[in-house]
Amino acid sequence: MALYDQLTARDNLIFFAALYSLAGAKAKQSIDDALTLVGLLDRANDKVGTFSGGMKRRLNLAAALLHDPQLLLLDEPTVGVDPQSRNAIFENLEVLKKRGKTLIYTTHYMEEAERLCDRIVIVDHGKVVANDTLPALHRLLPVTNVIAVELDQADGFSPEQMLALPEVKSAEVKQSTLRVGVHDLARGAPGVLRWLSDHGHSYHHVSSEQPNLETVFLTLTGRSLRDS
């Protein structure tokens, strides 16, 4: 939604309220409620041209809420905003979700979908490759646990060698972190650490984690770069 930089935040919302046939006391109440929700009531009389990118995104959200819709379509609303504004936008959306609003949210940030969405659709090259809840998507993975090992020296390390271990289903190194996928953590972790010691690979930290939505996405769509 385009904003008018030479108008104040309130005047922008008065204009958009008129498009929804809102006027008078009802429009004022809707505008005040929306500005309060997005944390901009104290900047209501400032020109939008003085706002940061994050503030403009929050004002966009306020404009979309004026007519109290039950369904909100949100197309990557946090792209290009500072972390504080991103958190503020998310807190706003979580409030709306608790109020019973339906949110359809598109994003490339997996952690946003994990935090907000009850149901997740993964689209690859225009085709739906998955459509389910997060727990159900996790069950599509070949592993249920990941062992993360901080290596002292990762140069020249070939994680493919570890696939010979019976419990290891996947292995990769990013920067200095080795991530090994296993089904059974209790059986897999000792074997992985023993293999590292036997092959002269020292490490300084070990942790376990469950695969996240990014792991699901890459498993379903592949890891090759998308330049087109």
Question: CB-hemisphere CA count at 13 Å for 23?
Answer: 3
- For residue 109, tell me if it sits in a domain: yes
pLDDT, mean of residues 145-159 = 91
Report the predicted TM-score, pTM, of the whole model to 2 decimal places.
0.74
Same domain, 107 and 150: no
pLDDT value at residue 226: 64
pLDDT, mean of residues 136-164 = 89
Q: What is the pLDDT of residues 97-130, one digit of tens each?
A: 999 999 999 999 999 999 999 999 999 999 999 9
Q: Which residues make beta-bridge pairs with 206?
A: 149
- For residue 133, tell me if it sits in a domain: no
Same domain, 103 and 16: yes
What separation, in Å, do the N-terminal and C-terminal C-alpha atoms of the chain show?
27
- For residue 137, tell me if it sits in a domain: no
Higher pLDDT, 211 or 194: 194
pLDDT, mean of residues 4-10 = 98
Domain count, the chain: 2
Q: CATH no. for residue 197? A: 3.30.70
Give one word for 158, left, alpha or beta, with left for phi > 0 and alpha for psi -120 to 50.
beta
Same domain, 147 and 113: no
Strand-pair category, 145-151 with 177-182: antiparallel
Give the range of the structural domain holding residue 179, as residue numbers without chain letter.
142-210
**Which among 81, 102, 117 is the end of a domain?**
117
Higher pLDDT, 1 or 25: 25
Gap between the Cα atoms of 107 and 89, Å rounded: 14
Is the predicted pLDDT of residue 228 greater than 90, yes or no? no
pLDDT, mean of residues 55-78 = 96
Same domain, 88 and 147: no
Same domain, 53 and 107: yes
